Chains A and B, each alone.
Chain A
Amino acid sequence: MAMRQGERVTLVQMGRGQSGIVVEVLGGKGLVRRLGALGIRPGKRVTKISSAFFRGPVTLRVDSAQLAIGFGMAGRIVVEVDKELPPSRGR
């Protein structure tokens, strides 16, 4: 389900292969810090690689690192998705 341009969605709602800029992490200080240390903080560009079946983890790329984030946590990361459609298999 690709989102339209500039729309704010959570990582869970983002489409596979879609990129965007992290806007906000909805959570306590601990979560914000933990995700921040791994590179997920406002202003960072992330690309969603995949999500697993049955509310499984979301996999995404930040810089050259690949992270897997539990479904609930991924739902608290708000991303402003890119204008252009994602390239077919880009990274």
Chain B
Amino acid sequence: MRILLMGNPNVGKSALFSRLTGTHIIAANYPGTTVEFTRGYLRWGEEHAEVIDVPGIYTLEPTTRAEEVAVEMLKAGDLVINVVDATNLERNLNLTLQLLERRVPVIVALNIWDDARHRGIDIDVARLEKLLEVPVVPTVGVTGEGVKELVRRLPEAAMHQESYATSDERWVRVGDIVSQVQSLSHRHHTWYEVLEDISNHPLGGVLIAVVVLLATFFAIRFIGESLINYVTAPLFEWLWTPLLMKLSLALGSGGFWHSILIGNLVDGRIDYFQSFGLLSTGLYIPLAAVLPYIIAFYLALGILEDVGYLPRLAVLLDTFMHRLGLHGYAIIPTILGLGCNVPAVMATRILESRRQRFIAATLISIGVPCAAMQAMIIGLVGQQGGEYVAMVYGSLFLSWVVVGLILNRTIKGFSPELLIEVPPYRLPPWRVIGEKLWLRVSGFIREALPIVLGAVLVVNVLYTLGAFDFVAGVTAPVVSGLLGLPREAVIALAVGFLRKDVAVGMLAPLALTPGQLVVSCTVLAMFFPCVATFVVLARELGWRDMLKASGIMVVAALVVGGLLNLLL
């Protein structure tokens, strides 16, 4: 038994999916959050039915690649839960009627039911059910209202093949149904709508964007810094350091295992940034230095996503993004990239053309450092002064723009224009924000922690074997000559392929000047994606384009690094 959740974009399919299956996935208030199929399971009598969250589509006559894939998926489904946005009945019913033309049983979940009532939209559910001849269940995905009823009535899902000669004929039928079941009553302007009006105004929109982005930046900084200063760093200092010191003594303060587990003692003490043992720096980087910023960033991102602000930012930046060969909606993958480049590259699927996806993915890999790396840059470079952190960010932003301008002029192909639905502002329940935050933070711990530990281990073993001396010798002309860095810095660049946060951490013991720190962090961010991003780039772009993108990254990194070295 395979159940498909299908419907227009941004009608709450993913929230409903989480409710139906207990499998938590990322949902957000913008069209195109789901770019991949997600599977979950639901108890169906004695057996388990597979539930698939299909990316949103407006029509079964595919107009974009995402829609083609969704239509393809329909052939493999045994039952469709058609999720309908109750606040937008007409457009949603067009898809419903198309689904009813197929040989598959359908049940309708009339979602966002709460919002429809607030907006003064009244829908006669019984009548709608009668007209469609399939069950219709009002639901609220984010709170779970109506989900039990939906599951109870799943077996009633019905097939009734009715077909329309032309799409105009179908629209007429839709109009007919809507006029029979929907009545609108007058209601007051809500303060969300007042906000919507302000952010729609060209000047008001710019002001709101500046306020929102500044507030987000300072909130992330404040939360991240506070968590480090008052929670994670003290915890390590008071609880973990004494244990490690005992272990260090037990190991005889030196030797092979000491250098693997604890690393080098600095003035007889553990320095979490410099010791570089598995249990010292290996745990400190992900859990104490990076995790606070991951929490802060994803909390802020989750709120921005669910409130529905991001599509408005896309509209505002559309003109600018066109210069880079993209359109405004490319800002969404870019912002996701500030958390992690892996989901960001996957999110480039919301862009229509291959050219746009290539440019967006390349620019993200070059100019958008992930949260883990940023946390380390702020931690390490920030010790030298905020102006140096600003130099790193400024260089990356400029590179992002310049490479985009160049790619727009050189890459062949077509970049379509922006065409998106701007969702209404919604105030997400804190529980939903919390669940999403937990999903992302636990994902980070599960996926990043093993790689960080692995990277530290590999580095230590290779150091002990002396393998790096050879590499450092060979690459010295580039690293020392062009970038003005000590030859050991090449090891950090190499480790950047595994984890960029560890790589930045490896710069700590090198005693670099502030200028050298700026050069090395900037180059590290641009040079090459980490292995996880590398794999996703290959999957999304194909090997050839991935290699092309990587070539652009290497050249851009060396040019920018060389220039910074001359300037600083």
**Which A positions have Cβ atoms within 8 angstroms of B?**
30, 33-39, 41, 49-57, 59, 63-73, 89, 91
**What is the size category of the interface that chain B forms with chain A?**
35 or more
Asked if B197 is at the interface of the complex by the 8 Å CB criterion, the answer is: yes
* A57 / chain B contacts, CB cutoff of 8 Å: 315, 318, 328, 417-418
Contact assessment for A52 and B327 in the assembled complex, using a CB-CB cutoff below 8 Å: no
Min CB distance A36 to B, Å, is: 7
Given A37-B58, A66-B424, A68-B418, also A56-B200 (CB < 8 A):
no
Does A73 contact B419, Cβ atoms closer than 8 Å? Answer: yes
* Assembled-state Cα–Cα distance A63/B175 (Å): 12
Q: Are B420 and A67 in contact (CB under 8 A)?
A: yes
17 residue pairs A–B, Cβ–Cβ below 8 Å = A33-B59, A34-B64, A34-B419, A37-B59, A38-B58, A39-B90, A41-B171, A50-B201, A53-B202, A56-B315, A57-B315, A59-B422, A64-B87, A65-B88, A68-B420, A69-B419, A70-B417
Q: Which residue of B lies closest to A70 (CB)?
A: B417
Identity of the chain A residue whose Cβ is nearest the Cβ of B63 in the assembled complex: A34
> Are A37 and B94 closer than 8 Å at their CB atoms?
yes
**Beta-carbon contacts of B60-94 to A below 8 Å, as 1s and 0s?**
01011000000000000000000000011011001
Q: Using Cβ atoms and an 8 Å threshold, which residues of chain B touch A68?
A: 311, 314-315, 318, 328, 418-422
| A56 engages B419 (CB within 8 Å) | no
| In the assembled complex, B205 has its CB within 8 A of some CB on chain A | yes
- CB < 8 Å: which of A39, A52, A67 contacts B318? A52
Kindly state the separation between the CA atoms of A91 and B200 in the bound complex, as whole angstroms.
13
Q: Tell whether, in the assembled complex, residue B63 and residue A30 are in contact, meaning their CB atoms are under 8 Å apart.
A: yes
A53 touches B420 (CB 8 A): no
> Per-residue 0/1 for B384-426: is the Cβ within 8 Å of any A Cβ (1 yes, 0 no)?
0000000000000000000000000000000011111111100
Of B193, B196, B417, chain A has the most CB atoms within 10 Å of the CB of B417
B167 within 8 A of A: yes
Least CB distance, A87 to chain B, in whole angstroms: 13
Question: Which residues of the partner chain A approach B314 to less than 8 Å between Cβ atoms?
Answer: 68
* Residues of chain B within 8 A of A71, CB atoms compared: 417
Instruction: Give every chain B residue within 8 A of A39 (Cβ-Cβ).
Output: 90-91
**A64 and B119: CB pair below 8 A?**
yes
User: Restricting to B188-213, which residues have a CB under 8 Å from any CB of A?
Assistant: 193, 196-197, 200-202, 205
A70 touches B327 (CB 8 A): yes
The answer to the question of B285 belonging to the interface, with a C-beta cut-off of 8 Å to chain A, is no
Structural contact, A53 and B91, CB atoms closer than 8 A: no
Question: What does the 1/0 interface line of B313-338 toward A look like (CB < 8 Å)?
Answer: 01110110000000110000000000
Contact B121 A64 (CB under 8 A): yes
Closest 7 CB pairs of A and B: A70-B417, A37-B58, A37-B59, A70-B418, A66-B422, A34-B63, A56-B319
Interface centre among A50, A52, A67, A72 (most CB of B within 10 A): A52
Bound: A37/B200 CA distance, A: 23
